[in-house]
Amino acid sequence: MLQSVDLGVFLAFLVGLAALILFGLQAWYDRRDAILSDHRRLNSAFSCARCGLTYVRPRRREEGVCPSCGWNNVRLKF
């Protein structure tokens, strides 16, 4: 009923399976890092003219209210 498998074929199968898993994990983490990088890149940085606090707001905004004093500031441009 059971067929015998050559040791070389079995080891080649295991090495191929391990390589496939490693390439899949690499693709998964590269995609995840690209998404996280885009999320961080789309934040806007602000420096309050009144109290000097530097803070970040999500998404691209031209103006942001300071969480400390409530002053409306324009975003920093680098």
- Shared domain for 31 and 67, answered yes or no, is no
Average pLDDT over residues 27-46: 83
- Shared domain for 37 and 47, answered yes or no, is no
- Shared domain for 4 and 25, answered yes or no, is yes
> What is the per-residue pLDDT for 57?
85
> What is the per-residue pLDDT for 76?
85
> What is the per-residue pLDDT for 40?
66
- Shared domain for 34 and 9, answered yes or no, is yes
Domain count, the chain: 2
Q: Indicate whether this model's pTM tops 0.85.
A: no
> Residue 8 belongs to what domain range?
1-41
Write the pLDDT tens digit of every residue in 6-21: 999 999 999 999 999 9
The most distant pair of C-alpha atoms in the chain lies apart, rounded to whole Å, by 83
Under the banding of pLDDT at 50, 70 and 90, the label for residue 35 is: confident
| Residue 68 structure tokens | 């400390």
- Shared domain for 19 and 54, answered yes or no, is no
